């Protein structure tokens, strides 16, 4: 469903998420035997709240999941919804995978924060140590790899996340994007390397950078979106 829809009961403050799975059967296993229960979640919700004041809402496309992507069935997060007049928040939660998702009415709004940049340190180290063919140069020692990672992190720490958004990027989930640095950032990194590495090492590092700086490779920077929930009093 492109724009998820919800029904809010003003009397009970209950929320139902309207999905294509509302009429899907529920299955359980007891004593090694599977049993099927025919269900219609939308019909059940409407029956429980018959005579109550119900109002439809639709997701705006703005959401914030703190502990994983929205596709993770256990990830809790906030979804912004609107009825065309007001915009409010729903909190998505569940305690166990066996429980259905619950949506709670939250008085508040999503507030953009400052996005942060990071490097893929583990993947970068693994590629430099185990997979990249350094020939005709000598393989980088652990000490040289440590130094390069340190210099790379220093360059990235001085950048604004918005400058990376302006270039090619790959969205992983609601909160994380992998992006490319621009030519000026790579030039600054190599300039810093020249004071600590030999000429041959710098040439090898340039070749490594040229081969791994795309948005889907180990030198892509990790952009974590900054977002906060501002509760209404």
User: Residue 1's pLDDT is what?
Assistant: 44
Give buried/exposed letters for 22-51 (b at 16+ CB in 10 A, else e).
Answer: eeeeeeeeeeeeeeeeeeebeeebeeebee
Q: Is residue 42 a contact partner of residue 54, using CB atoms and an 8 Å limit?
A: no
User: Residue 54's pLDDT is what?
Assistant: 94
User: Residue 101's pLDDT is what?
Assistant: 85
Angle among Cα 94, 99, 103 to the nearest 5 degrees reads: 45
Q: Using the structure block, give the residue that is written with the tokens 């914030």.
A: 64
User: Residue 144's pLDDT is what?
Assistant: 97
Q: What is the pLDDT along the chain (233 residues), one digit of tens a residue?
A: 467 899 999 999 899 998 876 665 555 666 666 665 556 788 888 999 999 999 999 999 888 887 777 778 888 889 999 999 988 899 999 888 878 889 998 888 888 888 889 999 999 999 999 999 999 989 999 999 999 999 999 999 999 887 776 666 677 776 788 989 999 999 999 999 999 999 999 999 999 999 999 989 999 999 888 888 888 76
User: Residue 23's pLDDT is what?
Assistant: 63
User: Residue 21's pLDDT is what?
Assistant: 66
Helix (H/G/I), strand (E/B), else coil: 61 = strand
What are the CA-CA distances from residue 6 to residues 135, 171, 231 (Å)? 59, 26, 21
Q: Is residue 115 a contact partner of residue 135, using CB atoms and an 8 Å limit?
A: no
Q: For the chain, give every domain's residue range.
A: 5-106, 116-224
User: Residue 230's pLDDT is what?
Assistant: 84
């Amino acid at each position: 469903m492109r724009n998820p829809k919800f029904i809010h009961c003003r009397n009970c403050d209950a929320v139902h998420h309207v999905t294509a799975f509302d009429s899907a059967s529920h299955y359980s296993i007891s004593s090694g035997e599977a049993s099927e229960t025919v269900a219609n979640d939308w019909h059940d919700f409407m029956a429980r709240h018959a005579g109550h004041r119900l109002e439809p809402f639709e997701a705006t496309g703005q959401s914030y999941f703190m502990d994983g992507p929205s596709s993770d069935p256990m990830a809790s997060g906030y979804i912004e919804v609107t009825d065309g007049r007001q915009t409010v928040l729903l909190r998505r939660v569940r305690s166990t995978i066996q429980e259905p998702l619950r949506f709670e009415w939250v008085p508040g709004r999503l507030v953009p924060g400052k996005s942060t940049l990071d490097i893929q340190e583990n993947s970068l180290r693994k590629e430099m140590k185990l997979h990249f063919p350094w020939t005709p140069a000598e393989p980088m020692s652990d000490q040289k790899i440590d130094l390069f990672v340190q210099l790379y992190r220093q360059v990235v720490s001085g950048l604004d996340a918005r400058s990376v958004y302006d270039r090619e990027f790959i969205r992983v989930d609601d909160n994380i994007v992998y992006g490319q640095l621009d030519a000026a950032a790579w030039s600054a990194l190599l300039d810093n390397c020249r004071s600590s590495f030999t000429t041959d090492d710098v040439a090898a590092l340039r070749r490594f950078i040229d081969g791994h700086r795309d948005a889907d490779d180990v030198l892509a920077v990790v952009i974590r979106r900054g977002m906060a929930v501002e509760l209404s009093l």
